[in-house]
């Protein structure tokens, strides 16, 4: 597992490592998401059914993310990564920044939704319907595990590695697009919901190099729709 002793000098940015870690973390999600997206694009029978979120689905997701997350962390520890490399340290100030990030995300989403609705029509944007049948306890647990899993790897890991291999602009674009791709199962809404979120999260991280505000914001953005619909 990852220790908290700074040993960043041991880290080596590697394309092979990047592919292995992100492939393990998000490969299955990407395949399922792309399949769902193209089924809807080509109107495959049954693809128009609403996406139903249940306790069983989320229990499986939580278990998957814990197991795969630990596996990826073990690989990274062997490669010289430490906890301090992810800039996870919490504080009240950073928690407050996280809630400000929630407000900024909602403002950006509403603006994107309004503008895209004018151009493409609201009916097209909301062509994928969602149903929530999730208990409060599972929603709370998911809102802890899922943000940690996603932000740890799609931001805290991917951005510094891609930046080391290229530059910060490429790293921001890479993180944003990766997040979008594994959320494409949401259909057109992913472009107005996930794309702005991924961009603002990547920008905030690259500006301050703090992961905690992203975890707080992501947890709130997961928990609120699961509990209030």
The per-residue pLDDT for range 104-118, each reduced to its tens digit, is 999 999 999 999 988
Of residues 63, 64, 37, 58, the one with CA closest to residue 226: 58
Q: Point out which residues pair with 133 in neighbouring strands.
A: 54
Pairing mode of beta strands 130-133, 51-54:
parallel
Instruction: Please give the DSSP secondary-structure letter assigned to residue 133.
Output: E
The per-residue pLDDT for range 149-182, each reduced to its tens digit, is 999 999 999 999 999 999 999 999 999 999 999 9
CA distances (Å), origin 49, targets 69, 128, 161, 213? 31, 8, 39, 35
Instruction: Please give the DSSP secondary-structure letter assigned to residue 143.
Output: H
Residue 9 has pLDDT above 70, yes or no: no
What predicted TM-score, i.e. pTM, was given to this entire model? 0.92
Instruction: Return the pLDDT at 6.
Output: 39
Confidence of residue 229 (pLDDT cuts 50, 70, 90): low
Mean local confidence (pLDDT), 64-68: 99
Q: Residues 6 or more apart from 42 whose CB is under 8 A from it?
A: none
């Amino acid at each position: 597992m990852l220790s908290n002793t700074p040993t960043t000098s041991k880290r080596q940015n590697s394309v092979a490592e990047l592919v292995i870690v992100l492939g393990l973390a998000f490969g299955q999600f990407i395949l399922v998401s792309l399949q769902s997206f193209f089924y809807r694009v080509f109107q495959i029978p049954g693809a128009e059914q609403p996406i139903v979120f249940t306790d069983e689905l989320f229990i499986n997701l939580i278990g998957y993310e814990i197991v795969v997350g630990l596996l990826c962390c073990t690989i990274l520890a062997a490669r010289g990564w430490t906890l301090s490399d992810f800039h996870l340290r919490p504080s009240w100030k950073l928690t407050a920044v996280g809630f400000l990030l929630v407000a900024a995300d909602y403002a950006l989403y509403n603006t994107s939704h309004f503008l895209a609705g004018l151009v493409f029509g609201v009916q097209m944007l909301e062509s994928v319907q969602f149903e929530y049948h999730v208990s409060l306890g599972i929603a709370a647990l998911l809102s802890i595990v899922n943000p940690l899993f996603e932000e740890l790897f799609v931001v805290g890991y991917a951005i510094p590695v891609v930046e080391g291999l290229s530059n910060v602009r490429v790293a921001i674009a890479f993180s944003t697009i990766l997040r979008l791709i594994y959320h494409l199962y949401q259909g057109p809404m992913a472009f107005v919901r996930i794309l702005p979120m991924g961009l603002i999260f990547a920008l905030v991280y690259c500006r301050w190099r703090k992961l905690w505000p992203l975890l707080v914001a992501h947890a709130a953005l997961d928990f609120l729709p699961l509990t209030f619909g």
